[in-house]
């Protein structure tokens, strides 16, 4: 099907009573949603917020949040969704400083803001302004943009601003394979709003005309119940939540047209089990906080287990070492040449992802992890090989004292599955690494970021008095 442009204002014009967002007991129609978005933009402009300014928010995922997101995109503002817990730390204010946020928008009145220099407004205060004040001039602004904080898996989170489109907001190009549109069932959103991997598919579905159902409190059972009750056609799960669903057993609902996953490496054993539960509908993507870079279907992945796919149209993936391009099959730094429309004027032509990996002869990308040296590449290779072992649901390999690798491995265990320790030791020996210390843990028990990635900075603080300790 040829892509076509669509946006919530178009849906509201043709079907204003169509449900746009459902979150617990809250519901909003498309007509109400775009009216609220325009009113929010009116309130921001009435308070002197200039075109292109960035605001932050900790509004919970739901109708109010999506109205604010649409207001920013259509009316030319930047929006930085931020984890409320992170906002309360001193780091929160520095993140807001780094992207020059002008104000903070909250669901409830606050005593002071993230820092005393920024005003705090509630969305209710902003929507008291009349929508006809949105824009006096005839020309619409350039589209707004989103800002995200990185997960902070290896250190402190960093704020990343996506490039601002040069043209006015035009909605999205609706594509058949993404399972969204006015004639489709809802999209089920089960991860935090403030991560691009989660918000991207949900915002796409909303712009395409789908209803978005928000799961605010995670459990595999609630996920299956919401999917069944609302007859969802699409959903997004980070690998840790996909693991939870696999561990919980077969869900009661298996009619998804597409199940997105991304944001972190997914062990092949988990993905194979998920394909067995949901069918050939898994759609994986790889990217950074600046955008999606590659994607892969279930059929492609089954032919190339472990790959994250080929680049999207207009994006080039290059594998380099010391700035020198490497041939297919060789491991090096993953560099990206993004589309011109995705680049900020201050960016160079090449985006350094910080990850290492390789491409095969057909251009499919395999990501090993993060590394800054030849030894780091060997550690990343060890980590990838551990994920391939039966029963492993996640893994992280860090450099310990005296260059002894420390392998943190979430493993199902049980008498049916083979002890992974001999295979890990053999792989380390093959890679010319010291005999590693292995810490086995139950699935989902290691510390994670809110977006579901293993929090590497916290792993070395865990007790590990003996090798192979749980």
pLDDT digits (tens, 9 = 90+) for 121-156: 999 999 875 544 555 556 778 999 999 887 765 567
Give the residue among 236, 346, 325, 326 at the shortest CA–CA distance from 281: 236
Name the class of domain 384-459. Answer: alpha beta
Classify strands 392-399 and 405-411 as parallel, antiparallel or unpaired: antiparallel
Residue 167 · residue 143 · CB < 8 Å: yes
| pLDDT given for residue 154 in this prediction | 58
| pLDDT given for residue 468 in this prediction | 45
Q: Is the dihedral of CA 94, 99, 101, 104 positive or negative?
A: negative
> Which residues, at least 6 apart from 279, have a Cβ–Cβ distance to it below 8 Å?
254, 256
| pLDDT given for residue 349 in this prediction | 78
75: enclosing H helix or E strand: helix 63-75
pLDDT digits (tens, 9 = 90+) for 325-346: 999 999 999 998 887 766 766 6
The CATH number assigned to the domain with range 4-312 reads 3.40.50.12780
> Which residues, at least 6 apart from 370, have a Cβ–Cβ distance to it below 8 Å?
154, 354, 355, 356, 376, 380
282: enclosing H helix or E strand: strand 282-288
Exposed (0-12), middle (13-18) or buried (19+): which is 73, by Cβ within 10 Å?
buried
Residue 302 · residue 284 · CB < 8 Å: no
- Which residue ranges of the chain lie beneath pLDDT 50? 1, 131-132, 465-470
Q: How far is CA 462 from CA 36, 245, 438, 459, in A?
A: 47, 26, 12, 6
Q: Where are the domains of the chain?
A: 4-312, 384-459
pLDDT digits (tens, 9 = 90+) for 68-113: 999 999 999 999 999 888 888 788 888 898 899 999 999 888 665 5
């Amino acid at each position: 099907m040829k892509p076509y442009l669509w946006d919530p204002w178009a849906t509201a014009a043709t079907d204003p009573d169509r449900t746009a967002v459902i979150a617990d007991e809250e519901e909003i129609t498309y007509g109400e949603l775009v009216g609220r978005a325009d009113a929010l933009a009116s309130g921001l402009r009435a308070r002197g917020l200039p075109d292109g300014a960035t605001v932050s928010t900790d509004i919970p995922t739901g109708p109010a949040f999506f109205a604010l997101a649409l207001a920013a995109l259509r009316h030319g503002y930047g929006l930085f969704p931020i984890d409320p817990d992170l906002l309360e730390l001193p780091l929160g204010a520095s993140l807001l400083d780094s992207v020059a946020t002008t104000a903070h928008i909250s669901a409830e009145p606050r005593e002071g803001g993230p820092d005393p220099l920024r005003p705090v407004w509630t969305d209710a205060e902003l929507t008291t302004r009349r929508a006809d004040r949105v824009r006096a001039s005839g020309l619409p602004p350039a589209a707004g943009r989103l800002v995200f904080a990185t997960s902070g898996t290896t250190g402190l989170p960093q704020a990343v601003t996506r490039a601002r489109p040069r043209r006015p907001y035009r909605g999205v190009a609706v594509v058949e394979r993404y399972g969204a549109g006015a004639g489709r069932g809802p999209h089920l959103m089960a991860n935090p709003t403030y991560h691009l991997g989660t918000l991207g598919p949900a915002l796409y579905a909303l712009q395409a005309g789908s209803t978005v159902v928000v799961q605010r409190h995670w459990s595999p059972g609630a996920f299956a119940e919401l999917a069944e009750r609302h007859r969802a056609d699409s959903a997004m799960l980070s690998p840790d939540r996909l693991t939870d669903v696999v561990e919980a057993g077969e869900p009661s609902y298996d009619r998804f047209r597409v199940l997105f996953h991304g944001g972190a490496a997914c062990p092949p054993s988990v993905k194979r089990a998920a394909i067995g539960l949901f069918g050939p509908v898994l759609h994986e993507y790889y990217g950074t906080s600046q955008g999606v870079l590659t994607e892969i279907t279930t059929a492609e992945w089954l032919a190339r287990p472990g790959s994250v796919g080929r680049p999207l149209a207009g994006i080039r993936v290059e594998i380099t070492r010391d700035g020198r391009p490497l041939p297919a099959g060789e491991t090096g730094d993953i560099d990206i040449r993004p589309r011109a429309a995705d680049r900020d004027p201050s960016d160079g032509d090449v985006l350094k992802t910080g990850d290492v990996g390789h491409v095969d002869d057909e251009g499919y990308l395999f990501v090993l992890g993060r590394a800054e040296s030849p030894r780091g590449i060997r550690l990343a290779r060890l980590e990838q090989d551990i994920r391939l072992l039966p029963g492993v649901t996640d893994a992280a390999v860090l450099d310990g004292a005296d260059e002894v690798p420390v392998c943190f491995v979430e493993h199902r265990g049980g008498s049916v599955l083979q002890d992974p320790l001999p295979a890990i030791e053999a792989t380390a020996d093959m890679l010319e690494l010291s005999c590693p210390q292995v810490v086995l843990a139950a699935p989902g028990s290691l510390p994670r970021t809110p977006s579901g990635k293993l929090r590497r900075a916290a792993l070395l603080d865990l007790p590990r008095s003996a090798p192979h300790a749980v």
